[in-house]
Amino acid sequence: MAGTNGVAAPAQETDEARREKKRKERDLRREKKHKKKIEARRAAGEPMSKRDYEKELKRLQVELVKLQYWVKHKGLKVVLIFEGRDAAGKGGMIKRITEGLNPRGCRVVALGTPSDHEKTQWYFQRYVAHLPGAGEIVIFDRSWYNRAGVEHVMGFCTDAEYTEFMRACPEFEAMLVRSGIVLLKYWFSVSDEEQERRFAGRLNDPMKRWKLSPMDLQSRDRWVEYSKAKDEMLLHTNIPEAPWFTVESDDKQRARLNCTRHILAKIPYEDLQPQAIELTPRKSAGTYKRPPRTEQFYVPTLY
């Protein structure tokens, strides 16, 4: 049907479309109200409530799922590097990122001490093997920056190896970016007081005690040396192609939310989530009969 100006009039909005539009408007109002509440607490220096944190975290994790669909659709290659002092919150951040993602398209790389053979290789070689292919996200829980930090401070590398790393690393990362890799680097910053509190918590928690190694204890005594090493690392490797982003992590909850939002902001994406699948009625089992329970072994029901 044509309007008075000869232009076709838009089709009448369906009831379902109107309901969906109202739902989105309502959700948007709630989201704005929720953000104002969070910002007010932050401005007042108040801790974030568990309810507010979990609600915002869930919202951001849904956005991460959308981002992963986009990365797969566009064939992007994403590398996230998390560095920082011991007990700065890197592991908890990585856990929250990966919780809702498809592990087939998102890998966490946490390499141990290099083998004797790996020590003879080009320093970056064992890391290159874990770089992403198209449609993949790779998260490095510590990375090649071990050389600029723990290896340098603890004397695990020579001065010549350290100097060569500082010279080669910016060139290596620029080459990764030119090859099409999206490289985001995060440094988690924690105060010595908060680190001490977290160390004490690990000592008293049998499920976290494994996180505290003799190397961690030595890092307590070399706080200044690690600070100087971090300063030098940021100075030499903070390149335009792959700058460092510092995350203030004394407040772990806010650090996780801030870092997640930053990742989402640095990689533009669109919502490509597939439509929900409709479950059809189950088919009849027909003549199939389950074998007697006595013919199988079962885990005892103790709970």
pLDDT for position 9: 47
Band (124; pLDDT cuts 50, 70, 90):
very high
Contacts for 26-31 with beta carbons within 8 Å, 24 or more apart?
Answer: 31/59
Band (5; pLDDT cuts 50, 70, 90):
low
pLDDT for position 1: 46
Q: Is residue 287 part of a domain?
A: no
Residue 69 predicted with pLDDT over 60: yes
Band (219; pLDDT cuts 50, 70, 90):
confident
Q: Is residue 295 part of a domain?
A: no
What is the domain-level CATH number for residue 257? Answer: 3.40.50.300
Residue 35 predicted with pLDDT over 80: no
Q: Is residue 16 part of a domain?
A: no
Tokens, residue 271 = 């919502």
Question: What does the pLDDT look like over 266-286, one tens digit per residue?
Answer: 999 999 999 888 889 988 988
In the chain, how many domains are there?
Answer: 1
Q: Distances from the Cα of 235 to the Cαs of 4, 167, 223, 225, 229, in angstroms? A: 66, 12, 18, 15, 10
Q: Is residue 209 part of a domain?
A: yes
Q: Is residue 28 part of a domain?
A: no
Structure letter (DSSP) for residue 99: T
pLDDT, averaged across the chain: 91
pLDDT for position 62: 97
Q: How many residues does the chain have?
A: 303
Residue 49 predicted with pLDDT over 80: yes
pLDDT for position 258: 98
Return phi, psi of residue 92, to 5°: -65, -35
Band (11; pLDDT cuts 50, 70, 90):
low
Q: Is residue 32 part of a domain?
A: no
Residue 83 predicted with pLDDT over 90: yes
Predicted structure pTM score: 0.84
Q: Is residue 9 part of a domain?
A: no
Query: Distance between the two ends of the chain, CA-based, in angstroms?
Result: 67
Domain span holding position 127: 48-269
Q: Is residue 129 part of a domain?
A: yes
What is the mean predicted confidence (pLDDT) over 73-96?
97
Question: What does the pLDDT look like over 99-122, one tens digit per residue?
Answer: 999 999 999 999 999 999 999 999
| Strand pairing class (181-189; 77-84) | parallel
Residue written as tokens 């680097």? Answer: 185
> Which range (71-85, 172-186, 271-285) has the least confidence?
271-285
> Which range (26-40, 65-79, 276-290) has the least confidence?
26-40
